[in-house]
Structure 1
Amino acid sequence: MTSKGLDMSVTIDVLVVDDSPLMRRIITSLLESDPCIRVISTASDGQEAVEKVRTIRPDVVTLDIEMPRMDGLEALRQIMQRTPTPVVMLSGVKEAAAAVRALELGAVEFVPKPSGNISVDLYKTGDELISKVKLATLVKLDRALESKTGPLAPLSPPLGRMRGRPWMLAVGASTGGPRALGYLLRRLPADLPAAVLIVQHMPANFTNSFAQRLNQRSPLHVAEAQDGQEVRVGSAYVAPGGIHMAVEKERGRPIIRLQDTKPVNSVRPSADVMMISVASLNGPCSMGVVLTGMGSDGAEGLAQIKAAGGLTLAQDKESSTIFGMPKAAIERGVVDGVLALSKMPRAIVTAMQEAKCHE
């Protein structure tokens, strides 16, 4: 494949990695049911996968986790270091932590096998797997890898007590988001005068583990959001997968409401739903940020925050893994600043220090 765009006249060459000969045959047959996909080779363990990625240079790799000699996570780490290639994880591993770790290491997407490691019913997730393999060709891995974090210098002097209503920082992300959010939250100070609300498009059984991973690395307290939970400054709340998250006021306090309503922008949770509620509740003391991701979720949310007098930021093309969500917001004209991911944390803090937030 000579182009990373979804050109239907171009064949996507795929390396299938799984320790089961049966699963390799099933995955190959499923992928090649799409005329745009060709499986050019297979591998039975991580060590073989690393070597084949180097020698045959596939466009995309599908990668299992539990394998002999070298597991999928170690193989993923070595592939990203040695021969960066878009990887879609395809695994029966039930531990969400492993899936989240794969996304942090640079996997584009994670597709769970429906019935464990040996899933003869893989056809149930066939459309999802094919679409994510195609999506992987859009990923700019040089940009994805630039988000790797080295030693972090102090972000700023202590903010101290700030007068006025606390800020609400609303952040939306999709493909490439786990790494981008990890970078962002590691750099925001513990005394940030804001509550942070996060929508990351992710399956329902992954988000709690994802929040725990963020909590281990962030000066802020990070947790998966719960219905009726009070929203507090210095904490970050990750929307659970499969359900919308909004904020509202109850007895004078901001609380989280989880809403099992229809998908918005074909996703649930939706950044738009969360951001619109933030704009309505917190007005000019709202800040919206759209990070890397496919689609247009978050554009309407930023529009509402901007209309309420708040501030809006979007990740730039050069540092985005996929420039879909930021681009949609920018093209609507609702973004106050377009920034590289590396500049985003300081810009957020500076804005909160300098902008006047009124009741």
Structure 2
Amino acid sequence: MSSDAISVLVVDDSALMRNLVGRIIEGADGLRLAGKAMNGKFALSKIPNLKPEVIVLDLEMPEMNGVEFLQACQEQGIDLPVIVLSAVAKKGAKITMEALAAGAVDFIMKPQGAAPDEVRNIADHLIELVHSYGNRYRKRRGEPMVKPAKRRDVLKERPAEMPVNRKAPAEIRRPAAIPKDITPKDTPGQLEIIAIGISTGGPNALRKVFSEISSDLPVPVLIVQHMPAGFTLEFARSLDRICPLEVKEAADGDIIKKGRVLIAPGDFHITVEKRKLANILRLNQDPPMNGHRPSADVLFESVAKNFGNRAMGVIMTGMGRDGARNIGEIYMAGGITLGQDDASSVVYGMPRVAYENGFITEQVAIEDMAEKISSWARKLTGGDE
């Protein structure tokens, strides 16, 4: 493994899980296993010598659990990206949200069995996250980022049930091309709704935006955050505790109203339905779009169809291109569209594609996103007059 590979520390009290995650890291181009630790206490003692750039952390461990480890890192000034290994359960979701509040950057679900397809899917997601956050950490420190490398044949080195070596996605490093010059069919109208699509890096990005959003935001907000079923309820509750607006996991038939933020439940698309007395939210389990359910493209398409130039679309950090096409329907109708910028995105994938397509009114840093959304909303509802 190249010496410039991103170094990873795996922390888990399960020897089986330490071994599994360690082998995933070792089998990935551009990553290097710095070491392993059986709990947070041992991990803290190993950090000075191992100098990891990313930590993969279990939450339920003896002596010092994951949340206690994150709190200790804050107290000791250890500023490393920590990706949480989360159990699939109501309790696991709640603790995961506590970990994000305590400084973790993202989370991934532990495999629930040894099925090759499940392990491979987990491996792909974990490698994407480690590369994304590891490169972001290096960029912040002014160090060279890891470039994609050719695949190595690790099938001879690993049992067949272990994941094949993966390479870093090139899109997280490719700069944006000059956007297409596209002219909307109309100008912005009276704003009635805001729709947001976001993925990798989303939990903490949304925590920042909605802790700073205006308390008198004059329109409702609908959010698609790519997140597994079982986690969006706790995520909505965690946002509700820090946001001046009401935040809840969306339910079928919810009224879409001023001062309310509705988050798509895991494994459900969300759309809007206009009625004479009120606009309501609908859930469905139609096939995934762009590999996702919920899908930002499904939400943007519905919002554009029902609100046209009276809508705002926001596309933020995330791998892939979900939302990058249909945010264009909002833009073409004359609505305002905001895209998170390259410098502040954990992964400049979704917003980059939307920008290159010519569908973004304005690119915005995460530090300015709450104020930008609030100011556009005031302007387009007459609040600045």
Instruction: Name the TM-score, length of structure 2 as normaliser.
Output: 0.77
Residue aligned with 1:169, SS: strand
Aligned pairs for 1:134-283 (under 5 A) are 134-135=127-128, 136-139=130-133, 140-141=136-137, 167-283=192-308
Identity of matched residues, %: 40
For residue 34 of structure 1, report the CA deviation from its aligned partner: 5.0
Corresponding residue pairs, total: 329
Distance in 1 of aligned mates of 2:123 and 2:73: 21
Q: Deviations over 1:56-88 (max 9, x none)?
A: 123432211011221112323444673433333
From 60, 85, 92, give the equivalent of 2:87: 92
- The answer to whether the 8 A contact 2:330-2:336 is kept is yes
- The answer to whether the 8 A contact 1:144-1:320 is kept is no
1:122–1:66 distance in 2 versus 1, CA, 3 Å: farther
- The answer to whether the 8 A contact 1:106-1:144 is kept is no
Residue identity opposite 1:354 in structure 2 = K
Distance in 2 of aligned mates of 1:97 and 1:44: 22
Q: Which residue number in structure 2 is paired with residue 133 of structure 1?
A: 126
- The answer to whether the 8 A contact 2:28-2:127 is kept is no
1:267–1:105 distance in 2 versus 1, CA, 3 Å: farther
For residue 165 of structure 1, report the CA deviation from its aligned partner: 5.6
- The answer to whether the 8 A contact 2:105-2:204 is kept is no
1:168–1:141 distance in 2 versus 1, CA, 3 Å: farther
1:99–1:35 distance in 2 versus 1, CA, 3 Å: same
Q: Deviations over 1:221-273 (max 9, x none)?
A: 11111112121111010000111111121345211111101111111111111
- The answer to whether the 8 A contact 1:84-1:141 is kept is no
Distance in 2 of aligned mates of 1:329 and 1:171: 13
Where do 5+ consecutive residues of structure 2 fail to align? 142-188
For residue 28 of structure 1, report the CA deviation from its aligned partner: 3.2
Where do 5+ consecutive residues of structure 1 fail to align? 4-9, 146-163
Q: Which residue number in structure 1 is paired with residue 366 of structure 2?
A: 341
For residue 166 of structure 1, report the CA deviation from its aligned partner: 5.3
From 304, 318, 339, give the equivalent of 1:314: 339
Residue aligned with 2:326, SS: helix
1:332–1:137 distance in 2 versus 1, CA, 3 Å: same
- The answer to whether the 8 A contact 1:45-1:69 is kept is yes
From 98, 103, 111, give the equivalent of 1:101: 98
- The answer to whether the 8 A contact 1:264-1:270 is kept is yes
Shifted more, 196-205 versus 88-97: the winner is 88-97
Residue identity opposite 2:98 in structure 1 = R
Q: Which residue number in structure 2 is paired with residue 323 of structure 1?
A: 348
* CA RMSD of superposed structures (Å): 2.8
